[in-house]
Structure 1
Amino acid sequence: MNKLVVFLLLILYLSSCKTPEAREPESVSTGSFIKESAERNKKLFLLEQEQIETYIANQSDKRFLTSEHGFWFSKDTIQQDTVLKTPAFGDLIKYEHYIADLNGNIIYTEEELKTREYLMDKQELFTGLREGLKLMKAGETYTFIFPSQKAYGYYGDENKIRTNIPIVTQVTVNSITTN
């Protein structure tokens, strides 16, 4: 009888010892969110591009150029002095600007924004304006059109600029102090 109990326990022990099996995942991610987000962004880009092209067509007094950084600009006043340089890394730029939407509605006036100081590439500034300031010399005024992804993007400025709004800004660089 003891041999039978030992034999049954041995069989039970051996049959309970097996290698672990992989479990099936509870949910499978197909990447559909990323695909949907990419499609939504493409549609938004095309819509903004159409709005910007319409805006430019209605600006007969300005000649807009396309930047390699994904925005448009018009040189309103150009500095003819060849000695003046565009800003380099760390230079202090004093500038004034206002921000409007594509319908011409002023979002922030120059008085609200006041004269600003910016250390080139050492301080936070939205992408489009940071790249736009690199094109300018002291004394010049440019008008920039920034699509939302180069301006305040998905979040806006959490104040007056709503989400995904392309903006127009006229910027005057007062001075550039070399670092």
Structure 2
Amino acid sequence: MKKPGEETLIRVNKNLVKNEEQKIRDFIKRYDWTMEKTESGLFYLIYDTGHGKPVGKNRAVTIRYSVSLLNGDTVYASRKTGPLTFLPGKGEVPKGLDEGILKLKEGDRAKFIIPSHLAYGLVGDAQEIPAKATLVYDVLVIKVK
């Protein structure tokens, strides 16, 4: 049995997701990108194919990246912070990046559009990423261990 107000909350959340997806689709159309969408809601485009080792869980991956908002503002970039190394599937990065990176191999370049529920959610990161922000990642896989 649902608690009072639970159905309203579910309806509001579904509308938020639907509205965010429409903004993402409008963004993709503006740039004329052909992107795939995963079941979770991640959009991705592999635009340059490498020939190295595939990324896998428990295999450290190093990427060069930029992260921007749908308005074009860059919020983080490896040219300032240096490459990022992490273990996919360990929760070290936003869920959408974890999911997307597992589709790549060494040398691949890709764009990920990560809806807020797969990024930093309702609160942002308390630094550069605002609440409920959709993120656009541009990544290059430089090393898979």
**Percentage of matched positions with identical amino acids:** 24
Q: 1:38 aligns with which of 10, 15, 29?
A: 10
Q: How does 1:167-178 map to 2 (within 5 A)?
A: 167-177=135-145
Q: TM-score, normalised by structure 1?
A: 0.74
Instruction: Output the CA distance in 1 between the equivalents of 2:89 and 2:27.
Output: 30
Instruction: Output the CA distance in 2 between the equivalents of 1:69 and 1:45.
Output: 11
Once the two structures are TM-superposed, the CA of residue 90 in structure 1 deviates from its matched residue by: 1.2
Q: How many residues align?
A: 144
More off after superposition, 144-153 vs 118-127: 118-127
Instruction: Output the CA distance in 2 between the equivalents of 1:150 and 1:159.
Output: 18
Alignment pair present for 1:68 and 2:39: yes
Alignment pair present for 1:125 and 2:93: yes
Stretches (4+) displaced over 3 A: none
Aligned residue type for 1:167: L
Bigger RCO (CA 8 Å, 6+ sep):
2
Q: 1:96 aligns with which of 54, 64, 70?
A: 64
Aligned residue type for 1:40: V
Once the two structures are TM-superposed, the CA of residue 89 in structure 1 deviates from its matched residue by: 2.3
Structure having the larger proportion of residues in strand: 2
Which residues of structure 2 form unaligned runs of 5+? none
Instruction: Output the CA distance in 2 between the equivalents of 1:134 and 1:170.
Output: 15
The corresponding residue for 1:149 is 117
Q: How does 1:111-122 map to 2 (within 5 A)?
A: 111-122=79-90
Deviations 1:3-36 (A, max 9, x none): xxxxxxxxxxxxxxxxxxxxxxxxxxx7233222
Deviations 1:81-107 (A, max 9, x none): 3xx332222111011111111121212
Once the two structures are TM-superposed, the CA of residue 49 in structure 1 deviates from its matched residue by: 1.0
Q: TM-score, normalised by structure 2?
A: 0.90
Which residues of structure 1 form unaligned runs of 5+? 1-29
Instruction: Output the CA distance in 1 between the equivalents of 2:90 and 2:71.
Output: 33
